[in-house]
Amino acid sequence: MKRILVAIKRVVDYNVRIRVKPDGSGVITDGVKMSINPFDEIALEEALRLKEKGIVEEVLAVSIGPADCQQQLRTALAMGADRAILVQTDAVIEPLDAARIFRALCERESPLLAILGKQAIDDDCSQTGQMLAALWGRPQATFASKVEINGEVARVTREVDAGLETIEVDLPAVITTDLRLNEPRYVKLPDIMKAKKKPLDTLEPGALGVTPVERLKPVKFEPPPVRSKGVMVKDTQELIDALRRKGLA
Amino acid sequence: MNRILIVAEHDGSRLNPAIAKCVTCARGIPDAEITVAVFAADPSAVAADAAAVAGVDRVVTVTHPIHANALAAAIAPQLTELAAAYTHVFGPSTTFGKDLMPRVAALLEAPQVSDLMAVESATRFRRPIYASNAITTVETVAGSKVVATIRIASFEAAGVSVAPAPIEATTVAALPATHTRFISVSSARSDRPDLQTAAKVVSGGRALASADNFGILFKLADKMGAAVGASRAAVDAGYAANDMQVGQTGKIIAPELYLAFGISGAIQHLTGIKDAKTIVAINKDPEAPIFEVADIGLVGDLFQVVPELERLLG
Ligand SMILES: Cc1cc2nc3c(=O)[nH]c(=O)nc-3n(C[C@H](O)[C@H](O)[C@H](O)COP(=O)(O)OP(=O)(O)OC[C@H]3O[C@@H](n4cnc5c(N)ncnc54)[C@H](O)[C@@H]3O)c2cc1C
Ligand SMILES: Cc1cc2nc3c(=O)[nH]c(=O)nc-3n(C[C@H](O)[C@H](O)[C@H](O)COP(=O)(O)OP(=O)(O)OC[C@H]3O[C@@H](n4cnc5c(N)ncnc54)[C@H](O)[C@@H]3O)c2cc1C
């Protein structure tokens, strides 16, 4: 069966203003709203559209993390994913280990595409998709804003610093999503009910031959330096005067 | 001795200014020897640029026709092979570096420090997380190579050296992957300064309300010698090109002067301008969050202020 594997990461909701713990040991996540990483919603939407076009028959949603990730996987199933896998662990999973887990699943499930977010908005690493592509020995098309599948190849438009770049990659391949690839659909209530019956399997990283390793040790967390409040001016002339005093106009 | 390999970003004829910033970052590592690697179809001009950056000890070139356009899948296996002799492998935190470096890190089985903003030792670094709402210090485990993307807004560019570094052509056994092919790139090229390195940036948000209206910002920018940026809302609405987006998921910039017109100041936008020396905000809503970070604020209608500024600056 032709399928797409989609990564679904549970992250602190983008509307939450994150705060560092007073002892510098981490950020406060207790009682904070958690959501699907916005880029992963876009990844799922793209997979669903490719399924609706008849290019694949199945969309598989995968999350790595604690048992609570089931919430985000249920949302993914309600959006339209056919089945889900939670690779359950309470360990800190660095991108290289996340990529090893995804590689093991790609080898087992042989997807036509693995679609991940270009970055997770918590750690902002922007690594996992590229690492998966390297380990799986397949092409990568990162920061995608347009995807076309033509038989054995995908033509992908990428948002790069210079503008828009188009590349062609042989399938299977890894794609990471940028914001303008699509606008994810809303979940409808009946779909939430239906999603409860869809399969959600749980397994441990060990079952995929992966033992998470700590390679980057967090030493401390700090709040960023705050900018001191500036001055208000009342009109354009005062603005220009203020700029001139700073030598900026 | 720490041996640092920096991969050159270039357009085939010129070295990207981000590389001189990566060199400054690398110089912060104690006892560093710095090599710049150029992958190109014809590396001569770019290698000469790299050799002239102060602090660079050596430039190595790898020539292959596939490197006429930078493709991560083509460069990664070759860069990985070169990396064997180094302790650190650095690239800029641009779309080029963000695409390439994790692929190299995975091949090296090394961790990557993304958006490295400060060096504390050869193994200890600082980087922003949660859209720069927290800064974390990380330590790499002993014996591991360090791969990093360098947050270019955090470093000044290294100067020009008096005696250029030696340039060596090298060959590698690893073949570039051919499963990825470059087709085209379209950019709204202009003779305006580059957004990522400009000293002054004029930026507009949703309030501009149309692509035509953005024209008033371009006029002002041209008068000031500034680059033009935009919020995501403005890009999504089609008022501005995607490569103009500033913020967590766009460009992170550190100009001397950032002028924000009709931008509310969402945290994702502010992430991109935290290192600007002076932020000026013009917004008709006195409660707009952008005023909390602005050095100079003006409550007013941008459609009145922009033309006035243009006239009075004349
Ligand atoms: C002390 C400490 C505590 C930490 N606590 C947490 C924590 O509470 N919660 C947390 O999320 N991280 C935590 N992390 C970070 C975590 O270990 C990884 O470093 C980080 O999640 C991976 O980076 P990223 O998500 O930014 O990856 P990126 O490379 O930016 O992710 C890109 C894409 O990869 C996919 N992806 C990545 N990881 C997963 C996943 N787990 N499941 C599904 N898809 C995925 C998604 O599609 C995502 O959009 C902690 C780190 C440290 C050091
Ligand atoms: C995952 C994720 C990533 C994101 N990444 C980015 C990013 O990289 N960059 C980014 O910018 N955003 C990003 N965003 C979006 C961000 O949250 C905001 O939605 C966006 O920045 C808002 O853009 P804006 O300020 O132009 O629009 P608005 O928030 O709508 O603000 C418009 C402002 O214009 C003012 N205004 C209206 N008319 C006038 C006038 N005539 N004169 C003066 N002022 C006027 C209003 O008072 C208002 O403050 C991201 C969001 C998510 C979820």
* Same domain? B144 vs B254: no
Q: How many domains does chain A have?
A: 1
Best residue among B267, B268, B274, B282 to mutate for probing ligand 2's pocket (most ligand atoms within 8 Å of CB) is B268
Q: Could you tell me if A135 lies within 8 Å of chain B, comparing CB atoms?
A: yes
The CA–CA distances, whole Å, from B83 to A206, B90, B137, B285 equal 30, 10, 25, 52
> Do B13 and B139 belong to one domain?
yes
Pocket lined around ligand 1, Cβ cut-off 6 Å: A 7-9, 11, 26, 29, 37, 39-40, 63-65, 92-95, 98, 116-117, 119-120, 122-129, 218
Contact of B175 with chain A, judged by CB distance below 8 Å, is answered with no
B164 and B47 both lie in a single domain: yes
Residue B180 lies in a domain: no
Check CB contact of B124 with chain A, cutoff 8 Å: yes
Among the partner-chain residues B129, B133, B186, the one whose CB lies closest to the CB of A164 is B186
Domain that holds residue A167: 3-245
Find the CATH number of the domain harbouring A39.
Answer: 3.40.50.620
CA of residue A123 to ligand 1 center, whole Å: 6
User: What gap in Å lies between CA B300 and CA B72, rounded to an integer?
Assistant: 46
Give A129 Cα–ligand 1 centroid separation in angstroms.
12
Whether residue B216 is contained in a domain is answered as yes
Q: Are residues B218 and B165 in the same domain?
A: no
> Chain A neighbours among B 191-210 (CB < 8 Å)?
196, 200
Domain co-membership, B152 together with B85: yes
Identify the weakest region by mean pLDDT among A55-59, A204-208, B89-93, B194-198: B194-198
Q: Which residues of B touch A237 (CB under 8 A)?
A: 312
Task: Quote the CA–CA distance of B67 and B75 in Å, as a whole number.
Answer: 8
State the Cα–Cα distance between residues A178 and A181, nearest whole angstrom.
6
Whole domain around residue B88: which residue ranges? 2-169
Ligand 1 pocket: which of A9, A18, A136 to mutate (most atoms <8 Å of CB)?
A9
Percent with pLDDT over 90 in chain A: 80
The per-residue pLDDT for B189 is 63
Which ligand 2 atom sits closest to the C-alpha of A14?
53
Q: Does A140 touch chain B (CB under 8 A)?
A: yes
B95-108 vs A95-109: helix crossing angle, rounded to 10: 80
B274: domain CATH number?
3.40.50.1220
The predicted pLDDT at position A155 comes to 98
- Using an 8 Å Cβ cutoff, are B113 and B147 in contact? yes
Q: Are both B116 and B163 inside the same structural domain?
A: yes
Q: Is B90 in the same domain as B136?
A: yes
Residues B152 and B6 in one domain: yes
Q: Do B32 and B135 belong together in one domain? A: yes
Do the domain assignments include residue B27? yes
Residue B266 at interface with chain A, using a CB cutoff of 8 Å: no
Amino acid letter at B284? K
For atom 29 of ligand 2, which residue has the closest CA? B264
Task: Summarize pLDDT for A22-36 with one digit per residue, the tens.
Answer: 998 888 888 899 999
* CA separation, residue B112 to residues A218, B120, B239 (Å): 13, 16, 36
Does one domain contain both B112 and B232? no
Which tokens belong to A128?
A: 């996992």
Strand partners, A141: A175
Which domain CATH number covers B87?
A: 3.40.50.620
Rounded-to-integer distance, Cα B129 and Cα B136, Å: 7
Together in a domain, B266 and B147:
no
Q: Return the pLDDT at B132.
A: 81
B33 and B98 belong to one structural domain: yes
**Interacting residues of A247 by C-beta distance below 8 A, sequence separation 6+:** none
Identify the nearest ligand to the CA of A40 by its number: 1
B295 touches chain A (CB under 8 A): yes
Cβ B103–A246 below 8 Å, yes or no? Answer: no
Is residue B278 in contact with ligand 2, taking CB distance under 6 Å?
no
Mean pLDDT throughout A55-73? 97
Are the Cβ atoms of A121 and B102 closer than 8 angstroms? no
Chain-chain contact of A131 with B293 (C-beta, under 8 angstroms): no
Is B96's Cβ below 8 Å from some Cβ in A? yes
Count of structural domains, chain B: 2
How many whole angstroms separate alpha carbon B185 and alpha carbon B180?
15
**Residue B263 located in a structural domain:** yes
Partners of residue A166 in chain B, C-beta under 8 Å: 183-185
> Would you say B91 and B101 are in contact if contact means Cβ atoms under 8 Å apart?
yes
- Asked if the Cβ–Cβ distance from B243 to A162 is below 8 Å, we say yes
CB of A171 less than 8 A from some CB of B: no
Beta strands, E only, A77-223: 83-88, 113-117, 140-150, 153-160, 163-170, 173-177, 200-203, 216-222
pLDDT at A31: 86
Phi first, then psi, for residue B276 (nearest 5°) are: -65, 140
Query: A106-164: per-residue pLDDT in tens?
Result: 999 999 999 999 998 877 788 999 999 999 999 999 999 999 999 999 999 999 988 89
Question: For residue A203, what are the contacts with CB-CB under 8 A and spacing of at least 6?
Answer: A85, A86, A87, A88
**Residues A51-59: what's their mean pLDDT?**
97
Task: Give me the tens of pLDDT residue by residue for chain B, a chain 314 residues long.
Answer: 999 999 999 999 999 999 999 999 999 999 999 999 999 999 999 999 999 999 999 999 999 999 999 999 999 999 999 999 999 999 999 999 999 999 999 999 999 999 999 999 999 999 988 878 889 999 998 888 999 999 998 999 999 998 999 999 999 999 888 899 999 998 766 778 889 889 999 999 999 999 999 999 999 999 999 999 999 999 999 999 999 999 988 999 999 999 999 999 999 999 999 989 999 999 999 999 999 999 999 999 999 999 999 999 87
Number of Cβ within 10 Å of residue A54's Cβ equals: 8
